[in-house]
Amino acid sequence: MRKAEKKRENRIATLPTSNFAFCIFLSNLTQTNGTEEELSKFCTAKKLTTTLPRDSPFNSHALSPYINPSLPPSFHSQYFPFNSLSTHFFSDSPSRVSESVVVVASLVSVSWISNCFFTMATGQLFSRTTQALFYNYKQLPIQRMLDFDFLCGRETPSVAGIINPGSEGFQKLFFGQEEIAIPVHAAIEAACAAHPTADVFINFASFRSAAASSMAALKQPTIRVVAIIAEGVPESDTKQLIAYARANNKVVLGPATVGGIQAGAFKIGDTAGTIDNIIQCKLYRPGSVGFVSKSGGMSNELYNTIARVTDGIFEGIAIGGDVFPGSTLSDHVLRFNNIPQVKMIVVLGELGGRDEYSLVEALKQGKVTKPVVAWVSGTCARLFKSEVQFGHAGAKSGGELESAQAKNQALRDAGAVVPTSYEAFEAAIKETFDKLAEEGKITPMKEITPPPIPEDLNSAIKSGKVRAPTHIISTISDDRGEEPCYAGVPMSSIIEKGYGVGDVISLLWFKRSLPRYCTQFIEICIMLCADHGPCVSGAHNTIVTARAGKDLVSSLVSGLLTIGPRFGGAIDDAARYFKDAHDRGLTPYEFVESMKKKGIRVPGIGHRIKNRDNKDKRVELLQKFARTHFPSLKYIEYAVQVETYTLTKANNLVLNVDGAIGSLFLDLLAGSGMFTKQEIDEIVEIGYLNGLFVLARSIGLIGHTFDQKRLKQPLYRHPWEDVLYTK
């Protein structure tokens, strides 16, 4: 027993009692066989006991609805007799009773804590000047908030800033017809510092990170209200959020909430849905009804219902459907009771949990003086033989007290207007409103005509209202369907048919599937031109850049920039000049001599190393493949004849790889029968053939980059002895 008592003492000792008004010490009794008497002795010894009057919130009537139903009744009566439990109140200052609480137990639910010890911020949560910080950027909810602002005639946008972890800058959105830039911050602290007047935090984080980001927001002195949209937030995390918010007089909406709205002033995220629905529900101007519900979806339905039979809502709140909402139905009903513009209150509860009983107590104690029309949904649960889990995590009856029927009856007995069915809910709301109007307690709001919201271009195009020109045309690929398509061929077909790189090039460059010998030739060209050693200009540039510590793309581009008329870029020119000479019927002599007169070197002829007796092996391989597979060789034959003539002038004026590829590609295009003369001329003119060299040589340049980095080569410096210094 001493060990258990020591354990209890240590737990109490770890609590900073100067920061807490009182502590209900219960969990140790669930872990040991300690008794109420032992607890009383311990508390008396520690001078932590104060006797409360019998009508305090601790009496058995207030406590019983909130006892955790998972614990057996025998446990309650054995360890916590209600009469004696009400006398144990721990406080470092009895005058600070309402400040905060810590419950170290699973016995009592959070809703009991909140209803017994705390009063939420009274009065309105929002106004026409309220601004929010939006966590985890979502374009549509933010735009809907801004459209609502414009509809209500707000002068300033309700979204002051966006928090996107790891990102900074601006997001462009529309405020009416004006495009605005909303700042984006990387951290909650930075956003709060930059926008000190923004006191609402709208959290669109996933359930995994919602608790941590919400707690960070609650700890900011400028944040007053936190709305947690995600559902499925761990219950232990939610309890901590609730305790912190209550202790610091802040409000939590959710988890699993759509948010809330003050008509004509401010709304959270997707609350109330589309602009059309908002207009139909008259939410662009304030009404006289305060509405609170657990369900966000049903809130939209009730906004519409209330608008049909009353002058609309003043404020609507969805507290969230999880088991432990950050605020309760009674919290908001009591707030509504303090708002002069709210003349009547509508409440929509649901089966499961005991939240509605806090409202029952408030009604019985006379804390709510305005008419309350209420309905608890889920009466159909009794039709099922076994327990049914409805949509929300909290919508699951844990016993008769949690059934919709029991709650409806309790609310009815407490003085709320409760219809006999949901179908009669609308009539009950109308009857209550009409009665208040007849008594002169409500002056129905005058209707106003809200300004039209400019329609987004995309939606206007879809609806056929406008037509707009496109900015880009693409004919080679399409990624809009289930899978990307190259020239109309689905990606799956490309893989299933065993297409190679040459086939993909034929689809993306030539917009057709070329015969296999054509795509093989393309692949051979790529392989033969992939690299030509480290000494050529492109490779040299890449090596120097890589050794300077630059990244892959920079190193690659530095090599590619050397490709041109003098290095690798002669394929197009060779094809162009050979084709023109052949098609005009010029002899090799006439062609070469005419080029000489113009002062133009013959593209595709000549090599710095190769000669008549040491021809380029790549040229031989290309010709061998073509003579085996090509149906026509007229252009390569012409190029060989030109080579025969140029060799009479100099031993190194051989047909080089540029000339071979250029002339053979002309034969491929002409011999395949798949291109018109006009298309062939266009292909040569645009520069398709140089594209082959660029694509091929990129492979080698990337290789040289990796090679230098793998070898950890230092910065390159050209040797002095290799430079001619002259005046």
Separation CA 633–CA 623 (nearest Å): 9
| CB atoms near residue 633 (< 10 Å) | 17
Neighbouring-strand partners of residue 182: 171
Neighbouring-strand partners of residue 225: 200, 251
How far, in Å, are 11, 14, 32, 292 from residue 6 at the CA level?
Answer: 9, 12, 12, 46
Listed in sequence order, the residues at least 6 apart from 133 whose beta carbon sits closer than 8 Å to its beta carbon are: 159, 160, 161, 162, 163, 188, 191, 192, 195, 198, 200, 201, 202, 217, 223
Burial per residue of 589-612, b for 16 or more beta-carbon CB atoms within 10 angstroms, e otherwise: eebbeebeeeeeebbbbbbeebbe
> Phi, psi at residue 585, to the nearest 5°?
75, 25
- Write down the catalytic residue from 88, 195, 392, 582: 392
Q: Are 211 and 244 in contact, with CB atoms under 8 Å apart?
A: no
Alpha carbon distance, N-terminus to C-terminus of the chain: 102
CA angle, 496 as apex, 490 and 497 as ends, to 5°?
A: 90
Pairing status of strand 169-175 against strand 260-262: unpaired
Q: Are 77 and 60 in contact, with CB atoms under 8 Å apart?
A: no
* Active site (annotated) includes residue 392: yes
Separation CA 170–CA 184 (nearest Å): 5
Helices (H) and strands (E) in the chain, counts: 30, 18
Q: Are 229 and 203 in contact, with CB atoms under 8 Å apart?
A: yes
Dihedral sign (CA 241, 242, 243, 244): positive
Separation CA 704–CA 720 (nearest Å): 24
The DSSP string of 20-78 is -SEEE--HHHHHS---HHHHHHHHHHTT--BPPPTTSTTSHHHHGGGB-TTS-HHHHHH
The DSSP string of 631-665 is S--HHHHHHHHHHHHHTTT-TT--B-HHHHHHHHH
Catalytic residues: 392
